[in-house]
Chains A and B, each alone.
Chain A
Amino acid sequence: MNPILKLLVQRIALGLVLLFAASVLIFVGTTILPGDVAQNILGQGATPQALENLRAQLGLNDPAYVRYFNWLGGVLQGDLGTALTNGQDIATSMGGRLWNTLFLAFWAAVVSVPLAILLGLIAVRYRDRWPDKVISTITLATVSVPEFLLGYIAIFLLSVTFPIAPSLAMINDSMSLGAKLQAISLPVLVLVLTVLGHMMRMTRAAILNVMQSAYIETAELKGLRPFTVIARHALPNAIAPVVNVVMLNMAYLVVGVVVVEVVFVYPGMGQYLVDHVAKRDVPVVQACGLVFAAVYISMNILADVISILTNPRLRHPK
């Protein structure tokens, strides 16, 4: 069997096992939470008989593993269950929000990944000189500030003092792409600032590591320009570590936008999750958890796959 194909199949199988393990953890975690779902729905004044009926109706009297497999069976068929609080189908109400979150994350990625790699290359080209120091300091500062604070600073500066962008990132299907982008400009800015530092610093470190290699000296002795040496000879050999960090940050963009979405009242997954955690709507929390786990795991598998594909030893066996 082709070694690459074998590795890919292995990675994907491993990802499925991980996802299964994550589903168990999510289910167990939400099950051992204190409180009774039936009590929450019916309120303190409910009669014992009403509680008992509801429990039976929701299947809460079954053993945990039976409930787990019922849930898992539904998930495998695309049925994420029904929200307890409003009785709506979770898959339907989550669909649009997941799309919104991916929309936000996508544009943040489109801006941040090329920018981070370019800044990393510039930092290496002028290492230990002022461009490197300026880039490193600014990105370190933006990483260190909590993102909700970054969000409020952005609102204060760009919506209040100099009103050039909206502070509320409200979007809906009837808006044009341009209007949508205008609406999400501030959350994208905050997300870019949050993930930029990590990716830029990793790019810089990975390339500097490669710059020690003998083949970099060969390239310098060919009389190539410093930037050609870095971009053509160093970067291709630093892709694997860079891709891993990029993918971790991509996953973070999807999973970790909760806070930013809340700050900008953006109708995405984060807002949805936070609302239903407050209402103890366990099926919604479980479904969100599972979707986040799936995004996280698939991003990491993708990183692995790209790392494998960039290794010429694997692509071109002897």
Chain B
Amino acid sequence: MAEPLLTIEGLRIEATAYPPGEPPRDVVLVEDVSFALEKGKVLGLIGESGAGKSTIGLSSMAYGRGGVRLTGGAIRLNGRDIRLAGSSDLRKLRGREVTYVAQSAAAAFNPALRLMDQVIETSLRHGILSKEAAEKRAISLFRKLGLPNPESIGRRYPHQVSGGQLQRVMTAMALCPKPDLVIFDEPTTALDVTTQIEVLAAIKEAIADTGVAALYITHDLAVVAQVADAIMVLRAGKKVEYGTTQQIIETPREDYTRALVSVRSIDHKEKAEAELVLSVRNVTARYRGTNFDVLKNINVDLPAGQTLAVVGESGSGKSTLARVITGLLPASRGEINFAGRVLSPELRARSKDDLRELQMIYQMADTAMNPRQTVGTIIGRPLEFYFGLKGEARRKRVQELLDQIEMGSGYIDRYPAELSGGQKQRVCIARALAAKPKLIICDEVTSALDPLVADGILKLLLELQAQEHVAYLFITHDLATVRAIADRIAVMYRGEVVRYGTKTDVLSPPFDDYTDLLLSSVPEMKLGWLEKVIETRSMEAAGN
């Protein structure tokens, strides 16, 4: 039998860490990872952030980001070990034998060059194709990947094309020089679910058509289950489990894999009717200097101590709704009733109690905290501002709050940079809680976190709701999160609420078209799910 295309044996990857205030030391990022990839097959690498999956993916091009060093093992590509190859040998291999599709195509395309010039650059520089042949191939790939106007889209600049389309152009760019292996590094993670399913289907088809081998890197097991032949589960740079896709999904052997497969273990029953804490009536809003309503006649209610999930894709107006409720963007029409009173549309005209009872938690916890303040100062600030607490009393209250978010006393004097992503978000929750609010607006608070960590945050939010009787307006694009914590749901699309009601009602048929599309686009952890959805959709399209 011929040798596989790519064989990795006992791979070890190290980097030098520079912890603040300590001497630099070497850390091992990846240890003892081995796998083999045959021509035309797809291997999924899955794990949380820091699992080393991108690092391993890039190692198959013998590339290390920053100061990353490939210190041990063998990386055999097309029959030769490339781990210690010289830079001119590596240049010949990169782009010719192996190509790369990055997570954020929007950032990975050069904003100053036309798409076509970037797509065919590799083929020209390596002398694989002539300019005419490369452009012809690019256009046929654009067509295969379902891009609109395949003949002319190459003349556009990256900013003139949407994120989902850019991701497909990037796939075309990777396939254009006829490589043996393509590394897909989270190619659909930054996309909306309805776009993700299209890109996923396009990538899968392109892989099958061109017969190229692929490494598919993602944190989403349900996604990789749709495209991969085999899956390797990684954690902290080590292999957890390696097997066929069917075996990993249906009969996982390791506890960690089982946890990934059955993530969203929260079972939340919606609460009974109660007095309203927030009632948004006929709210319409537009940004200054525009003549377009970003919110159109919004009506939603939120009972005290419950959770209203606002679901929608990017650009649907869900974050704008939060800005209107907080007064950052005054509504042009309509009324916001909060805790039995009408809120002024303008932030400046609101009382201190209005401000205190309505708090916010953001998606990016690290940018929502002052990096030069300790956790104690960050949480202590609302205590002093709203309740006048000082000195020992304030420190005691901060400690109580830290206990509530399940972080011990060791954290009070730490800086945000010394916390993990999940801990940072917990501190933000404690800061919001410190004001004793009636309503907390949570804007995509778990989107930047790994699934298991996000799960912990959601559980914490539910516990705090039970203890403090606080209501949440929970903005998210993730339907699994919605199922886990919502009592009521509002589905938003292009500035309007297209579906609103209790969780059971909203998630039960009959659906409106958009909600149906949204719900059916969420990847399920089943083999063949993607084909089934695409088939159903094309049948429906044919029926219409």
A residues sitting closer than 8 Å to B (CB atoms) are 213-215, 217-225, 228, 233, 236-237, 310, 312-313, 316, 318
Residue numbers in A under 8 Å from B122 (CB-CB): 222-223
Residue numbers in B under 8 Å from A214 (CB-CB): 102, 104, 107-108
Q: Are A225 and B107 in contact (CB under 8 A)?
A: no
From B96, B126, B157, give the contact of A316 (CB < 8 A).
B157
B95 at the A/B interface (Cβ < 8 Å)? yes
Alpha-carbon distance A223/B123, docked complex (angstroms): 10
Q: Are B102 and A218 in contact (CB under 8 A)?
A: yes
Q: Are B107 and A223 in contact (CB under 8 A)?
A: no
Tell which of B110-118, B344-352, B422-430 binds the partner. Answer: B110-118
Distance to closest chain B CB from A282 (angstroms) = 48
From B91, B92, B96, B108, give the contact of A218 (CB < 8 A).
B108
Alpha-carbon distance A318/B104, docked complex (angstroms): 20
Which of B77-114 touch A at CB < 8 Å? 90-96, 99-100, 102, 104, 107-113
Alpha-carbon distance A223/B92, docked complex (angstroms): 6
From A221, A228, A310, A318, give the contact of B94 (CB < 8 A).
A221
Q: Are A222 and B157 in contact (CB under 8 A)?
A: no
Q: Are A312 and B159 in contact (CB under 8 A)?
A: yes
Q: Are B111 and A222 in contact (CB under 8 A)?
A: no
Residue numbers in B under 8 Å from A218 (CB-CB): 100, 102, 108-110
Alpha-carbon distance A222/B125, docked complex (angstroms): 9
Residue numbers in A under 8 Å from B104 (CB-CB): 214
Q: Are B61 and A237 in contact (CB under 8 A)?
A: no
Distance to closest chain A CB from B460 (angstroms) = 33
B residues sitting closer than 8 Å to A (CB atoms) are 58, 61, 63, 65, 90-96, 99-100, 102, 104, 107-113, 121-122, 125-126, 156-157, 159-160
Residue numbers in A under 8 Å from B61 (CB-CB): 221
A sample of 26 cross-chain residue pairs with beta-carbon separation below 8 angstroms, ordered by A number, consists of A213-B107, A214-B104, A215-B107, A215-B108, A217-B102, A217-B108, A218-B102, A218-B108, A218-B110, A220-B63, A220-B94, A222-B99, A222-B121, A223-B92, A223-B93, A223-B126, A224-B91, A224-B95, A225-B91, A237-B110, A237-B112, A312-B157, A313-B111, A313-B157, A316-B156, A316-B159
* CB closest chain-B residue, reference A218: B108
Provided the pairs A223-B91, A318-B159 are in contact, do residues A228 and B125 lie with their beta carbons within 8 angstroms? yes
Q: Are A215 and B109 in contact (CB under 8 A)?
A: yes
* CB closest chain-A residue, reference B100: A221
* CB closest chain-A residue, reference B110: A215
Provided the pairs A312-B112, A313-B159, A316-B160 are in contact, do residues A221 and B92 lie with their beta carbons within 8 angstroms? no
Residue numbers in A under 8 Å from B111 (CB-CB): 215, 237, 312-313
Residue numbers in A under 8 Å from B99 (CB-CB): 221-222
Alpha-carbon distance A222/B100, docked complex (angstroms): 8
Contacts A223-B96, A228-B125 given; 5 further ones with Cβ under 8 A? A220-B63, A221-B58, A221-B63, A237-B110, A316-B157
Alpha-carbon distance A219/B126, docked complex (angstroms): 13
* CB closest chain-A residue, reference B170: A218
Alpha-carbon distance A224/B126, docked complex (angstroms): 9
Alpha-carbon distance A228/B107, docked complex (angstroms): 19
Residue numbers in A under 8 Å from B121 (CB-CB): 222, 224
Listed residue (A218, A219, A225, A237) with the most chain B CB atoms within 10 angstroms of its CB: A218
Alpha-carbon distance A222/B92, docked complex (angstroms): 9
Alpha-carbon distance A313/B158, docked complex (angstroms): 9
Q: Are B108 and A223 in contact (CB under 8 A)?
A: no
Alpha-carbon distance A220/B104, docked complex (angstroms): 16
Alpha-carbon distance A171/B63, docked complex (angstroms): 58
Residue numbers in B under 8 Å from A215 (CB-CB): 107-111
Residue numbers in B under 8 Å from A310 (CB-CB): 112
Alpha-carbon distance A233/B109, docked complex (angstroms): 10
Residue numbers in A under 8 Å from B108 (CB-CB): 214-215, 217-218
Residue numbers in B under 8 Å from A233 (CB-CB): 110, 113
Q: Are A223 and B159 in contact (CB under 8 A)?
A: no
* CB closest chain-A residue, reference B156: A316
Provided the pairs A218-B109, A223-B96 are in contact, do residues A318 and B160 lie with their beta carbons within 8 angstroms? yes
Q: Are A223 and B109 in contact (CB under 8 A)?
A: no
Alpha-carbon distance A233/B113, docked complex (angstroms): 8
Residue numbers in A under 8 Å from B109 (CB-CB): 215, 218
Provided the pairs A223-B122, A223-B125 are in contact, do residues A236 and B113 lie with their beta carbons within 8 angstroms? yes
Alpha-carbon distance A63/B95, docked complex (angstroms): 75
Alpha-carbon distance A224/B61, docked complex (angstroms): 13
Distance to closest chain A CB from B351 (angstroms) = 42
Alpha-carbon distance A260/B108, docked complex (angstroms): 47
Residue numbers in A under 8 Å from B58 (CB-CB): 221
Alpha-carbon distance A210/B482, docked complex (angstroms): 39
Q: Are A217 and B160 in contact (CB under 8 A)?
A: no
Alpha-carbon distance A218/B100, docked complex (angstroms): 8
Residue numbers in A under 8 Å from B92 (CB-CB): 223
Provided the pairs A214-B107, A312-B112, A313-B159 are in contact, do residues A223 and B102 lie with their beta carbons within 8 angstroms? no
Residue numbers in A under 8 Å from B96 (CB-CB): 223
Alpha-carbon distance A39/B513, docked complex (angstroms): 91
Distance to closest chain B CB from A232 (angstroms) = 8
Residue numbers in B under 8 Å from A221 (CB-CB): 58, 61, 63, 94-95, 99-100
